[in-house]
Structure 1
Amino acid sequence: MAVFTPVSNDDARELLQRYELGELVSLRGITAGIENTNYFLNTTRGEFVLTIFEVLTAEQLPFYIELMAHLAERGVPVPHPQPMHDGKRLTRMHGKPCAIVTRLSGGYEPDPGPGHCALAGATLARMHLAAADFPIRQPNLRGLAWWRQTAPQVLPFLDAAQAEMLHSALQEQTAFTATPTYAALPSGPAHCDLFRDNVLFDGTYEAPRMGGFIDFYFAGCDTWLFDVAVSVNDWCIERETGAFIENRLLAWLDAYAALRPFTPEEKEAWPVLLRAGALRFWISRLYDFFLPRPAQTLKPHDPRHFERILHLRRQVAAPRLP
């Protein structure tokens, strides 16, 4: 999240006239992230988040907005998109699509312990199961097709060893998607970006309570195992090396599997999907770092972090799924 499109108090007041959310109290830009414009929007009736979509189109957005509504209505702790007077959940501001969603309580935990990992793993399993009957289908727009399209754009910034790893990793993922094992993997709507800063917790560090999942705007239909792999590649690692921290990883995977047990095909595919999760974010961070879009407050991540993780996942045997 970032601030690409300025929004004034008068803009917010005009927008609120389309809703039954009360009158504007305060508006504050959110500087974290790199994809959309986000503001904390407080009104006389509650606390909300205003998102202006800078990349996703009005045709793509119903998947994300309706998925969040679908999950929220089934008790999964996610932001609930608010309807306007006409019942629609999407509108426009400054010529761009936008939406207002409920603001969840809590804050993100930068150094999660096993208790946080277990809560996040269990909630992701709940999300997958609740999304299984979601009727809209849209692929993960940052999936393999996007990796293959984007890799040539970042190659000029890589040295020979980096370029070789990128090429061979893409080859592996392309070949794997053509296998019967891949075809048998359970799939459906997935978050696809469940990093620790996209999960909020209440309570204390020793006794955390789930606040909810946020930032669904990279979601798409993909294998659920890819969603798990992306998550544990962030939640369950030593930041400096990318190596797994065993008690965090076991807590995450055991809690997830208690609600949705892993299949034999998923257990076979696990090492490849861990590499897929690392590859996806290495490519996107290379792209955001070397080919950034103009923004008022933009903080691109260091792509070397996921380069290290991908290298490690290619060198060290993956832990088994429960």
Structure 2
Amino acid sequence: MSVYTAVSFSELQTHLQNYAVGELQSYKGISAGVENSNFFVDTDQGRFVLTLVESVPKEKLPFILGLVDHLAINELACAQPIHLNNGDLFGMLNGKPAVLMNCLEGAPLNQPTLSQAKTIGSTLAQFHQLSSQLELDEYSHIPQWCNELASRVLPKLDKEQQTLLQNSLMETSDIDWTTLPSGPVHADLFPDNAMFDGERLSGLIDFYHACSTPYLYDLSVTLNAWCFDETNNQFDTQKAQQMLHMYQEIRPLDPMEIDLLPAMMKTAALRFWLSRLRDIYFPTAGEDVTQKNPQGKQALLERLKSDFPVIL
């Protein structure tokens, strides 16, 4: 569980007066998430999810929450932000931006089924179609981000890891990101960021990595996350093929995207290897903080570089 900022009952009770969600009955920290403080909030009108945003500056929240609001209004399955009484999409609580969302049915996934993965493939394509209607704001240049973070973690690695990192950075820098179709993306669509009630998708959650960048990057992050089993070091080629098929049924990749998919999947693996290394070597202090093992993403990166699965 990650709780960086504690909240008392009375503080939350006062904060909820800014919403038309009823009287606070109880609340508790959520045993998921890495970068923000999350709580289940129960009122006499139902259950909600409160997020104290620790991972991004509040100046970015109008983009993120505007994206989520746009998706929800257009009936994409996702958590929907609750507007404050004054119409705003977020407030402030204990010095942190505070977002209240409806609580979706079901639970996040650990080991997704083939059917669930296919659903995510089509849902992600619908997401990208809807997001293409929005402005290309908050653009994130992933190679630059990787290079800046790599300079910090490189001295902490052994020789073999340093070689893997340096070679991967060179391959990532060879991608011409400016030529790829781009728009607002989720950028963190792991199985634990999708709520399922059985085989039915209740909705996508945790959009706090959202940015504008190539859609191919978002697709690559998702393929890696849903098709690679970090515990067993196995890549499920059939699942990846079916996810990609469902995606292309709605949003076909153009020839350049197809050509760059292998390199982009390696870039996606590199990005999350680096973020997990950062969390290990440069941890953020918190009350109860989750860290993920970077070895899983390192193993994925090594796998993609040595034996790329045939998924197209």
Alignment-mate amino acid for residue 285 of structure 2 = P
Give aligned-pair identity as a percent.
34
Residue 47 of structure 1: CA displacement? 1.6
Give 3-state SS (helix, strand or coil) of 2:20's partner: coil
- Report the Cα distance in structure 2 between the residues aligned to 1:195 and 1:158, rounded to whole angstroms: 26
Corresponding residue number in structure 2 for 1:201: 196
Query: What are the Cα deviations for residues 105-154 of structure 1, in whole angstroms up to 9, with x where unaligned?
Result: 1112211121011111111111111111123611237x222211111111
Give 3-state SS (helix, strand or coil) of 2:21's partner: coil
Give 3-state SS (helix, strand or coil) of 1:59's partner: helix
Corresponding residue number in structure 2 for 1:274: 265
Residue 168 of structure 1: CA displacement? 1.5
Q: For 1:293, which of 270, 284, 296 is the aligned residue? A: 284
Residue 31 of structure 1: CA displacement? 3.0
- Report the Cα distance in structure 1 between the residues aligned to 2:275 and 2:57, rounded to whole angstroms: 19
- Report the Cα distance in structure 2 between the residues aligned to 1:320 and 1:236, rounded to whole angstroms: 11
1:278–1:63 CA distance, 2 compared to 1 (3 A) = same
- Report the Cα distance in structure 1 between the residues aligned to 2:228 and 2:81, rounded to whole angstroms: 33
Q: For 1:245, which of 236, 253, 257 is the aligned residue? A: 236
1:110 lines up with 2:105 in the alignment: no
Equivalence map 1:202-217=2 (5 Å) = 202-203=197-198, 208-217=199-208
Q: Comparing 277-286 with 111-120, which one deviates more in the overlay?
A: 111-120
Corresponding residue number in structure 2 for 1:185: 180
Residue 317 of structure 1: CA displacement? 2.9
- Report the Cα distance in structure 1 between the residues aligned to 2:309 and 2:273, rounded to whole angstroms: 19
Contact 2:230 2:300 in 1 (8 A): no
Q: After TM superposition, what 4+ stretches of structure 1 lie above 4 angstroms from structure 2?
A: none
Residue 210 of structure 1: CA displacement? 0.9
Residue 225 of structure 1: CA displacement? 1.1
Residue 161 of structure 1: CA displacement? 1.3
Contact 1:150 1:283 in 2 (8 A): yes
Corresponding residue number in structure 2 for 1:70: 70
Q: Comparing 276-285 with 87-96, which one deviates more in the overlay?
A: 87-96
- Report the Cα distance in structure 1 between the residues aligned to 2:90 and 2:19, rounded to whole angstroms: 11
Residue 316 of structure 1: CA displacement? 1.0
- Could you state the TM-score of these two structures normalised by the residue count of structure 2? 0.96
Q: For 1:284, which of 254, 267, 275 is the aligned residue? A: 275
Q: Comparing 246-255 with 279-288, which one deviates more in the overlay?
A: 246-255
Residue 165 of structure 1: CA displacement? 1.2
- Report the Cα distance in structure 2 between the residues aligned to 1:95 and 1:113, rounded to whole angstroms: 40
- Report the Cα distance in structure 1 between the residues aligned to 2:65 and 2:58, rounded to whole angstroms: 11
Give 3-state SS (helix, strand or coil) of 1:39's partner: strand
Alignment-mate amino acid for residue 43 of structure 1 = T
Equivalence map 1:14-93=2 (5 Å) = 14-93=14-93
1:44–1:140 CA distance, 2 compared to 1 (3 A) = farther
Give 3-state SS (helix, strand or coil) of 2:174's partner: helix
Q: For 1:233, which of 220, 224, 245 is the aligned residue? A: 224
- Could you state the TM-score of these two structures normalised by the residue count of structure 1? 0.93
Corresponding residue number in structure 1 for 2:133: 133
Give 3-state SS (helix, strand or coil) of 1:92's partner: strand
1:241–1:139 CA distance, 2 compared to 1 (3 A) = farther
Contact 1:81 1:89 in 2 (8 A): yes
Report how many residues are paired.
Answer: 312
In structure 1, list runs of 5 or more residues that go unmatched.
none
- Report the Cα distance in structure 2 between the residues aligned to 1:232 and 1:248, rounded to whole angstroms: 9
- Report the Cα distance in structure 2 between the residues aligned to 1:193 and 1:164, rounded to whole angstroms: 26
In structure 2, list runs of 5 or more residues that go unmatched.
none
Q: Comparing 29-38 with 211-220, which one deviates more in the overlay?
A: 29-38
1:260 lines up with 2:251 in the alignment: yes
